[in-house]
Structure 1
Amino acid sequence: MRRRFSLAGQTLRALIVANLLALGVISAGFILSGLSDRKDRRDEILEHMASDLGDALGFDGAGRLVLDHDADDWHERLEKDRSLQFLAFDPASGSWLAGSSAVLRAAIGDTWLRDWRQSRLALSLPDGTPLHGAIMTVSVDGRPLRVAIARADSTWDDTLSWAGEELTEEIAPSAVPALLLSLVVAYIAIRRAMRPVKAATARLGALDPTQAGDRLDEDRVPREIAPLVAAVNAAFDRVAASFAKERRFLADAAHELKTPIAVLRARIDSLADRATAERLGADIDRLGRIVDRLLTSARLEQAALRAAPLDLAALARDVVAECAPLALAGGREIALEAPPHPVAVEGDAAALAEALRNLINNALRFTPAGSAVEVTVAEAAGATVTVADRGPGLPDGLSDSVFTPFVSSEASGSGHAGLGLAIVAAVARRHQGRIEAANRAGGGAEFRLHLPRRLSAGGAGDRG
């Protein structure tokens, strides 16, 4: 499967690239600035080198001009720049520093060496390499000395070195923290900007597209995704309209079948052959139950939800008492476990009673004689009603589809159309809850109806 991309990640990466480009532009600006001032930069470097040479000079016991014992920096400079030519001259004694460049001495001449002015020079080595240099006066132990420095033109390297020093010493200490801070602020801003999207996603997961009016709020999302939210709402409206049309058709068809079934029942009852009449009467009863379930399903889906505070434990006691005679007649029992105090929820008492009644009747149909159907009311993450039996359990892969209309775990021709659990699912959905089915350890099935304590505004269909 193709990996999904992240809008937040892409935005953050774009900001990182933009900041790095800005840093690159600043670096390029420094380099260009250094190139435009390359002559001044070259002269400045030559002056620094001549000053470094003056700092490395000293006199030995015989008064001769020598490199001081701590001239390591100057030796390191000579190692780095093989084109470097230098000389040092003491006008008072006429002595030269050992190692002074003969080429440089010949190019300058004695006149310039005895002139105290600071000068610039240009010359070429015997191999034709052009050199640029400087002559200046330095003071060593109170004695004025003339020093000269010449080196090959390395404007590009010098500029890069200068730009690097400027960036690391002047720009980086402030630019890097600012860059990191901007990324942190951008990350926080992106996270905050994505909150409405995450909220809309969570809300979308709780919506029922078959119910009209249960939609995403287009005013609470960013302008950039508002068209997408509007398109989703429009798609939900089309789905809801299609379901509403289907429900109206089923309700109308069921209603129209009531009279023909009643007429057919009367004619069957008048048959002289009682055995045939009883068989046909059983079929008519089954058909009548299907029609009643269709009408009940349509009524629950279309009628306004009359939500009001109620005691779920008391409602469960009433429904269990209502179903107890049917259980006893079949040799079964119904056990109820509920808190002694009220379990307050908000909902439609009639609809919830119908859902619980269907769950109990479904369990009684499957649980064997001599066993009990267990009904439990609990307070966990809202309120929960569990109906468990000791029947054969659910076939593999049917735990989800068993709530689909006309899907039954029983074989075809059993007399049950698979509408009872679909009605339970519709009631749970309209109460912003959910229904779950699973097999029990030790055999049997368990149906768990989860309900919120309070219904959120606009989330439960139409409320009366």
Structure 2
Amino acid sequence: MPCVKLQWPRSLRTRLLAVYSIGMLTSALLVGLMVFFLAEPFNRYMLQYGAEHFAQGLAKRTQFAADGTPMGFDEEKIDKWLFTSFKEDVFVRITTADGQVVFSPTGEEATALAPAGTAFDPQLKRFELQREGVPMHAATTPIEHRGATWYVQFAASDRLVLKMRHSFGTPALQQGILATCLTFLAVFLIATHLTLQRMLHPLRAASIEAQNISPQTLDARLQARDLPDELTPLVEAFNRALDRLQAGFRTQQEFLANAAHELKTPLALIRAQIEMVPPTQRNPFLLQDVDRMARQVQQLLLLAEASEPRNYRMEEVSAQAALAEVCDYMARVAERSGVHITHSANTGTQGHQAPLCWQADRGALFTLLKNLLENAIQHSPPGGTVTVLADPAGFRVTDQGPGVAPADLGKLFERFWRGPTRRDEGAGLGLSICQEIARAHQWQIMARPSQPGLEVHVQFQPSDPPQEIRNEA
């Protein structure tokens, strides 16, 4: 038969509660077994101890006559009916040292209590005897008064004590133990739950901080304060890993920017040397290759700059002015392709016009819009229209080209990815640059099919909403 391996829950809180609960149940089981096996010896001991305890209590409340002879017990403390009503099961004697009874609550002639077949022995503190076949436990306690020593004897039948214990004591004890255990268990579980919740709160806060760390926020570090000592090394190791990751990422970005920057001058020199060659001797495709390489180098430089949040300076940018600037800049490119550009900005107000402003880096916003327009123009057919619509929630650029297959929409913003309808221009970095700029602004950029063509939508996040500024003239 295959062995079944139990799987512990992954939650630390659940594990601790399970271990504590199992420990408490095991403890309760052990206590129950001890009570089961030790009940009889313990019951016998309690009978003997009870008899001695009652005898000592009677000795303390013994009253004496004027001549120093015991005459009974303090009835304000001990009711006399306790001895007379249970005269067959409870016996009380006050004797002299030789066993002569000087007081009995029933007033009848009585003899001193002693084990069967033996005489009265004042040194015998606890003993067993039988009266008319009924087992009893008895005790003898000395008491001194005016230089004389007297002996108080008390005996109770086992049947009376056990009956009262089983009828009243044991059920009450069981109910008390059950109520105590349930109360203790409830208090323990609630206290443990609250304690664990308080202890694990810093860990949940650290996990949220870790989730918010991105390539744009590699300088953030987890706070180790208030964390349990066992988890502090893990957080510190994670922070050291972030230090190494940030150093590697910064080195990669610096290398990319430096390489792109260093390549611009050689490419410019190569182009100048080619242009110096007479047109009849010039390779017609050489300038195109140099221009394409120069464009790729420029895009790599822009990508490196867009991936570094320190390069951004946020300010209020007029949406109408930004759209007009980019559309005017791309107008000549659109004319060469036979494409028309239209743009409009919806302020969201009614009854009067108000300038629409966004919180953005002016240069990065220009690059973002330029790349989207350039991509839309390149994919639009001659005579097509590229539309730019802006509102307080974001903006969208729509073309009338062949569009992108739904299966390829997720790859659209990957670096160096080019679709089946790609052209010779570009290296597949334009939309990747747009994504880096949007991410740095905490915006969301997405693409979806249009009828016809493709629509790229840039939506502002709630954490950094656009602002609508009105003239105060």
Which TM-score bucket, shorter chain as reference?
Answer: 0.5 to 0.7
Q: Which of 368, 374, 377 lines up with 1:361 in the alignment?
A: 374
- Residue 173 of structure 1 corresponds to 179
Contact 1:210 1:240 in 2 (8 A): no
Amino acid at match of 1:283: D
Contact 1:27–1:163 (CA under 8 A) maintained in structure 2? no
The match for 1:243 among 246, 249, 254 is 249
Which letter maps to 1:268?
Answer: I
Query: What is the aligned counterpart of 2:20 among 7, 12, 15?
Result: 15
1:224 maps to amino acid: E
Q: Tell me by how many angstroms 1:300 deviates.
A: 3.0
Residue 319 of structure 1 corresponds to 326
**What secondary structure, in the 3-state scheme, does the structure 1 residue paired with 2:299 have?**
helix
**Aligned to 2:274, what secondary structure does the other structure show?**
helix
1:339 to 343, 347, 352: 347
Q: Is the 8 A contact 2:395 2:457 kept in 1?
A: yes
- Structure 1 residues 326-360: Cα deviation after superposition (integer angstroms, max 9, x where no partner): 43553233343432556665432211221222122
1:129-176 Cα distance to aligned partner (Å, 9 max, x none) = xx98569xxxxxxxxxxxx998xxxx9xx9999997356411222331
Amino acid at match of 1:362: N
Residue 419 of structure 1 corresponds to which residue in structure 2? 429
1:50-449 superposed matches below 5 A: 133=135, 165=171, 168-209=174-215, 212-219=218-225, 221-274=227-280, 277-302=283-308, 304-311=310-317, 313-314=319-320, 315-329=322-336, 330-340=338-348, 341=354, 345-379=358-392, 383-395=393-405, 397-409=407-419, 414-437=424-447, 439-440=448-449, 442-449=451-458
- Which sections of structure 2, spanning at least 5 residues, go unmatched? 1-6, 50-87, 89-108, 115-127, 138-156, 349-353, 466-473
- The separation in 1 between residues aligned to 2:279 and 2:248, in whole angstroms, is 46
Q: Could you tell me how far 1:417 is from its partner in structure 2?
A: 0.5
- 1:453–1:149 distance in 2 versus 1, CA, 3 Å: closer
CA distance in 2 between counterparts of 1:32 and 1:161 reads: 21
Determine what percentage of the aligned residue pairs are the same residue: 26
In structure 1, distance between residues paired with 2:227 and 2:395? 36
State the one-letter code of the partner of 2:259: A
Q: How far did residue 115 of structure 1 move?
A: 9.1
Contact 1:210 1:243 (C-alpha < 8 Å) held by counterparts: no
SS at match of 1:447: strand
Q: Counterpart amino acid of 2:377?
A: L
* AA of the residue aligned to 2:334: A
Contact 2:394-2:460 at 8 Å conserved across structures: yes
Q: How many positions carry a matched residue from both structures? A: 363
**Alpha-carbon distance in 2 for matches of 1:273, 1:4:** 77
Closer, same or farther: CA 445–238 of 1 in aligned 2, 3 Å: farther
Greater relative contact order (Cα 8 A, min sep 6): structure 1 or 2?
Answer: 1
Distance 1:227 1:116, change over 3 A: same
The residue identity in structure 1 corresponding to 2:330 is C
**Secondary structure class of the residue paired with 2:412:** helix
For residue 22 of structure 1, report the CA deviation from its aligned partner.
4.8
SS in 1 for 2:236: helix
Let me know the Cα RMSD of the aligned residues: 4.4
Distance (Å, rounded) in 1 between the aligned partners of 2:406 and 2:9 = 33
Summarize the Cα distance change of 1:276–1:346 in structure 2 as closer, same or farther, 3 Å threshold.
same
Alignment check: 8 A CA contact 1:344 1:453 kept: no
Equivalent-residue separation in structure 1 for 2:382 and 2:277 (angstroms): 35
CA distance 1:168–1:387, change in 2 (3 Å): farther
Partner residue, 1:93? none
